[in-house]
Amino acid sequence: MRIGNGCGFWGDNLDAPIRLVRDGELDVLTLEYLAELTMSILALQKQKDPQTGYAGDFLDVLDRLAPHVQAQPQLKIVTNAGGMNARACAEKAKAILAKHGLSRRIAVVEGDDLLHDLDRFLAAGHAFANLDTGVPLARIRPRVVSANGYLGAQPIAEALAAGAEIVITGRVADASLTVGPAMHAFGWSWTDWDRLSQATAAGHLIECGAQATGGIWTHWKDAPDLANVGYPFVDFEVDGSFVIGKPEGSGGAVNFETVREQLLYEVGDPAAYLTPDVVADFASLKLEHAGKDRVRLSGGKGKPAPPSYKVSIAYRHGWASAGTLVLSGPDAVAKAKAAGQMLLDRLAAIGMSPQRSNIETIGAGALTPGIMSCDPPEVALRVAVHDERRAVVERFTKEFAPLVTSGPPGVTGYTSGRPPVREVFAYWPALLDRTAAPGRFELF
């Protein structure tokens, strides 16, 4: 069984899924769109228009995929593009297919959106304490804009077993998009922790798209033709072992390094990677060369899934803005730092000092403070602020232009206008007993 992932985030390459389906000989195409910030953006979209709240890129991709879907009737599609409104996304997808004369059974997976039940959960004793600080959610409850539990693979597998050919979910664990189809195809037990662990490793490896095929690889210069980078697929065996690869003729590379780097991406303890499906032990995996741009993984071990779901909560947290200017000539770094401080001093003089601020000299080691630094002939000055008061942030944006004539010499890069003010959504990680919010599916 071959599962390929053609999207690693909302905004990824729109051509990648088309090329992967065209050249990859897939059984299942997965498309992964969601991140914590994405959910809060989608929640606000849905508040403004109840018919939105999903990743619209998926519909564009589906429209372009239609000829391939028609030519490959066995192809299944599993995606979390549903975001905050999987039903509306499914309706739009159904209309696109109909436009092309296609009929495919679509299922939506729901149960992850906890926002409207938050008060009921809090009243029942679920504190949703912040995993980093221990502070209970009640402290910021009025400012919450989204709350989503990370569902697992089971409702995806159940939807496929019920005949779904396209499965659209909201927030599920990224790897579960791969685990669900594998569980359905092979009929593995939901307590077969080793196979679940290996399927999770496969899903984790391909969930970020080209990151596993040469993108951001340490030795990226050894990855040929990254402009045409191939997106990854995994070939599963019935024992749970799998080979990761990419389509023949595509750019990039698949080797021990690209696989290992992605395997450790966003992982705390490699021996205990927590998911709603299994606690996966990536350290137990055996890697073997399996041909050009092919790596085989086997021997993975797993333990029972945690009793709780991770819950991603976003809440309103004031306003922010960031602006840039370029400083050139002698003493560029010193001039940039002085200009940034002048800007903040002028705000202080009128009683509008922001609660948080940061001055950076990009090009002189600002991205790696204390590790690398230099004194180049030109730098980009970046000043960012955050405050609960929008008026303070708006006034900040008006202090860049004066530096052109009232700051140090060599200021340029000011023709793009004032920087925008944006609302800040802070992240609140929490846990919820998994029995309190089970996932479910419905066929359309």
Structure tokens at 107: 């299922």
Average of per-residue pLDDT across 137-150: 95
Question: What span, in angstroms and rounded, lies between the C-alpha atoms of 265 and 259?
Answer: 10
Average of per-residue pLDDT across 164-187: 97
* pLDDT band, residue 416 (cuts 50/70/90): confident
| The pTM of the whole model exceeds 0.95 | no
Structure tokens at 375: 């004194």
* Residue 43, pLDDT above cutoff 90: no
pLDDT of residue 378: 96
Domain definitions of the chain by residue range: 2-112+150-306, 314-427
* Residue 39, pLDDT above cutoff 90: no
Q: Which residue has the tokens 């750019």?
A: 251
Question: What span, in angstroms and rounded, lies between the C-alpha atoms of 118 and 332?
Answer: 52
Angle at 229 between CA 68 and CA 63, to 5 degrees: 25
* Residue 347, pLDDT above cutoff 80: yes
* Sequence-ordered strand ranges (E) for 95-134: 106-110
Three-class DSSP category at 244: strand
Question: What span, in angstroms and rounded, lies between the C-alpha atoms of 311 and 147?
Answer: 7
Give the number of other Cβ atoms within 10 Å of residue 169's Cβ: 30
Three-class DSSP category at 113: strand
Three-class DSSP category at 341: helix
pLDDT of residue 36: 80
Give the number of other Cβ atoms within 10 Å of residue 410's Cβ: 19
Per the model's pLDDT, the better-predicted residue between 40 and 188 turns out to be: 188
DSSP string, 62-96: HHHHHHHHHH-TT-EEEE-TTTT-HHHHHHHHHHH
* pLDDT band, residue 263 (cuts 50/70/90): very high
Question: What span, in angstroms and rounded, lies between the C-alpha atoms of 418 and 22?
Answer: 44
What are the tens digits of pLDDT across the range 86-116?
999 999 999 999 999 999 999 999 999 999 9
Using CB atoms within 10 A of its CB, is residue 383 exposed (0-12), middle (13-18) or buried (19+)? buried
Question: What span, in angstroms and rounded, lies between the C-alpha atoms of 308 and 312?
Answer: 13
Residue 224, Ramachandran bin (φ over 0: left; ψ between -120 and 50: alpha; else beta): beta
Q: Strand 233-236 vs strand 2-5: parallel, antiparallel, or unpaired?
A: antiparallel
pLDDT of residue 48: 87
H or E element at residue 168? strand 166-169
What are the tens digits of pLDDT across the range 429-442?
999 999 998 999 99
Asked if the 314-427 domain carries CATH number 3.30.70.1560, the reply is: no
Q: How many CA atoms lie within 13 A of 262 on its CB side?
A: 29
Q: What's CA 330's distance to the chain center, in Å?
A: 42
* Residue 398, pLDDT above cutoff 90: yes
What residues contact 43, with CB distance under 8 A and at least 6 apart? 53, 84, 115, 145, 146, 314
Mean confidence (pLDDT) of the chain: 95
Q: Which residue has the tokens 């450790």?
A: 264
Average of per-residue pLDDT across 212-240: 96
Three-class DSSP category at 361: strand
pLDDT of residue 374: 84
DSSP string, 188-202: --TT-HHHHHHHHHH
pLDDT of residue 344: 98
Looking at residue 8, the DSSP 8-state letter turns out to be S
* Residue 415, pLDDT above cutoff 80: no
Looking at residue 172, the DSSP 8-state letter turns out to be B
* pLDDT band, residue 372 (cuts 50/70/90): confident
What percentage of residues in the chain have a pLDDT greater than 90?
A: 92
